[in-house]
Chains A and B, each alone.
Chain A
Amino acid sequence: MTSRIKNFPGTSLSEKDFADGKALFVHDELKADYAWDTGVGIGAYLASLKRGQILGARCDHCRKIVVPPRTVCEWCFKPMSEYVPVQDTGTVNTFSLCYVTWDVQRITEPEIPAVIMLDGASELSESSVIMGGIMHKLGEVDPKKVHIGMRVQAVWKPESEREGAITDILYFKPI
Chain B
Amino acid sequence: MRANIELTQVDGAYLHTGAKSGEVCCVGEWTLPAMARLEQHLNAFPWPDVGEITLNATAVRAMDTSGAWLLHRAIRTLEARGRSARLQGLQPEFEALLAIIAARGVSGSQARGMDNHNLLAQIGRRAWNSTGNALGIIAFLGESSLYLVRSLIHPGRIRWRPVLRNLQIAGFEAMPITGLLSFLLGIVIAYQGAEQLQRYGANIFVADLVGLSMLRELSPLLTAIIVAGRSGSAYAAQIGTMKMTEEIDALRTIGVVPMELLVLPKVLALVIALPLLTVYTDIMGVLGGMIMARAQLGVAFGAFLDRFDDAISLSSYLIGIGKAPVFAVIIALVGCYQGFQVSGSADSVGSQTTASVVQSIFIVIVADALFSVVFSWLDI
- Same complex for A and B? Answer no
Q: Which residues of A contact B (CB under 8 A)?
A: none
